[in-house]
Amino acid sequence: MFQTLKRELLAGITVSVVALPLALAFGMQATGTSDGAIIGLYGAIITGFFAALFGGTKGQVTGPTGPITIIFTGIVATQGLEYAFIAAFMGGLFQIVFGLLKAGNYLKFIPLPVVSGFMNGIAIIIIMGQLQYVTGSFLVVLLTIVFMLVAMRWIKIIPPSLMALILGTVAVILLEKVVPAVHFTMPFINDFIFFDTAERIGEIPKGLPQLHLPIADLSVIIQLIPAALSIAVLGSIDSLLTSVVMDNMTGTKHKSNKELIGQGIGNTIAGLFGAMPGAGATVRSVVNLRSGGQTALSAMVHSVALLLFMLVFGPLAEEIPLAVLAGILIMTGITMFDYDSLKILKDEPKTDAAVMLVTMILTVAIDLMVAVGVGIVMSALIFMKRMSEEGFKINNKVEHGLKIYTLEGSLYFGATELITKTISSDSSLEIIIDIEKVTVVDASGAFLLLQLRDQLSERGQNLYLVGNDLDLGGILRKMNIFQKFGPAGHYDTLEELLKKKSNKDIDEELVAT
């Protein structure tokens, strides 16, 4: 018991070290000012604690992430910071509703090209958002990136982002004392160095975050619904993707709907206390797991450790240059980019590459929710086209003078054109459709059978339907398809129909003789 508790405590403290610079950097990104750093830190503390307490993924760490930061940045830019907190509160409520409605069972069906596309787009947006610091404090940003690269390559004890944060801050403080002594006659060199005016985070509150009751009239709340849904949907997707990663590493199974409720509670409380919303963070969760964290306790300890840092070491954090945080964010964007997704640009299928590129471009150029929506619709249409061309088969043969068509696969609206084109062009007097190998049927596919019967009947042809729908949930019986074909038009088995046709032919021959 003691060893388990010790392991969870150490894992939580380790994760807090990783989370600290990212929370500060994402907060700064969201507001575009130094004041945002504390909002990001508050977000990591609040969402990390309550999402772990009420969530459904063991060891998952929650806090500000790339997707959430980009959404929150857009809301702050269009609605203002106070309304952005209200949107975070509403987004958390939506997530709780998602969990209660079991929406977690369906969010897992987001196609991989869509996920890769919006993650790549987010990485690009994060990098683009730091260009102001690149042009104003290029050398500071460059040094920070170099420190991170060195730490990632050779230093394993201290997280690269924390190493870059410490070394970058120390370098700026030292160089600020050296550079002013050197006179540059060329203005662009002074701008290039920019040490003497390197902007800092500034004052960090010494107390706990204060309660902000969401006060807004009905018109404002309605106006904020799309923004809140963006936080809820993308935060849920981000969190459940991290949950899947955790499952793969631990061999366990997360509770997706409980996780959504936990994320919702965390974001709701974050909105109430003027903090950034959050989502399950993959890197932080993996670090937690590898450090020995296996329960919600380690993730909760991570939040407590961040709170203690803010209360005890706040004055030190005030001296962190924003350009250093910008360098950390640029490296975060570079490492976030899904380089494996670029492989599909040259490999088959090309349609997946198109979905990924469209989603990525729309994420950067328009909006994250629009990008995901368009990507999902494109993927669905492509899937239906593939199913109609490859996933559905029609085989035909002639037996006892009867033309028999065997349908195989999903009898759904995407396959109706192929079936209609094939059977309508057949001039046989008697045609059989065998549905024994049909795996799925929808309303369009079911009613197509009746339409074909009526169409062939008008041309003097007979259409028979063979097979039952016990494996299909009885949907054809519920829709009265078999009843409308009648006992002379529907048979449970092909053998039953052939036997009856054979007996009828014999009877007709006897009558003729």
Q: Which amino acid is at 37?
A: A
Give me the phi and psi of 389, to 5 degrees please.
-95, -35
Q: Which helix (H) or strand (E) holds 462?
A: strand 462-466
Residue 54 Cα to chain centre, angstroms? 21
**Higher-pLDDT residue of 87, 160:** 87
Between 343 and 488, the more confident residue is 488
392-512: CATH number: 3.30.750.24
Determine the Cα–Cα distance for residues 480 and 469; give it in Å rounded to an integer: 12
> Cα dist. 355→115, 116, 361, 374, 433 in Å?
10, 9, 10, 9, 36
Using one digit for the tens of pLDDT, what is the confidence trace for 436-469? 888 888 888 888 899 999 999 999 999 999 988 8
Query: Nearest-CA neighbor of 239 among 220, 258, 211?
Result: 258
Q: Record the tokens describing residue 415, joined without a space.
A: 């396959």
| Mean pLDDT over each residue of the chain, to the nearest integer | 84
Per-residue burial over 420-455, b if 16 or more Cβ lie within 10 Å, else e, is: eeebeeeebeebbbbbeebebbbeebbebbbebbee
* pLDDT above 60 for 430: yes
Structure tokens at 137: 């404090």
Q: For residue 510, is pLDDT > 60? A: no
Q: CA 138, CA 327: separation in Å to the nearest integer?
A: 9
DSSP string over 208-259:
PPPP------HHHHHHHHHHHHHHHHHHHHHHHHHHHHHHHHHS----HHHH
Helices (H), 251-349: 256-272, 282-290, 296-317, 322-336
pLDDT of amino acid 494: 86
| Token pair for 204 | 């960090």
The C-alpha atoms of residue 229 and residue 270 are separated, in whole angstroms, by 16
Helix (H, G, I), strand (E, B) or coil at 402: strand
Per DSSP, what are the bridge partners of residue 491? 466
Of 364, 360, 369, 361, which is closest to residue 338 (Cα–Cα)?
360
* pLDDT for 512 beyond 50: no
What would the pLDDT profile of 395-419 be if each residue is shown by its tens digit? 888 887 789 999 988 888 888 888 8
The letter for the amino acid at 448 is L
In this predicted structure, the answer to whether residue 222 has a pLDDT above a threshold of 60 is yes
Distance, in Å, from the CA atom of 227 to the CA atom of 416, rounded to the nearest integer, reads 39
Structure-model confidence comparison of residues 226 and 161, the more confident one: 226
**Residue 183 pLDDT more than 60?**
no
Model confidence band, residue 265 (pLDDT cutoffs 50, 70, 90)? very high
The whole-number pLDDT of residue 513 equals 45
pLDDT over 80 (residue 300): yes
Q: What is the DSSP letter of 410?
A: E
Identify the H or E element spanning 393. Answer: strand 393-399
**For residue 8, what are the contacts with CB-CB under 8 A and spacing of at least 6?**
292, 293, 294, 295, 297, 298, 301
CATH 3.30.750.24 placement within the chain? 392-512
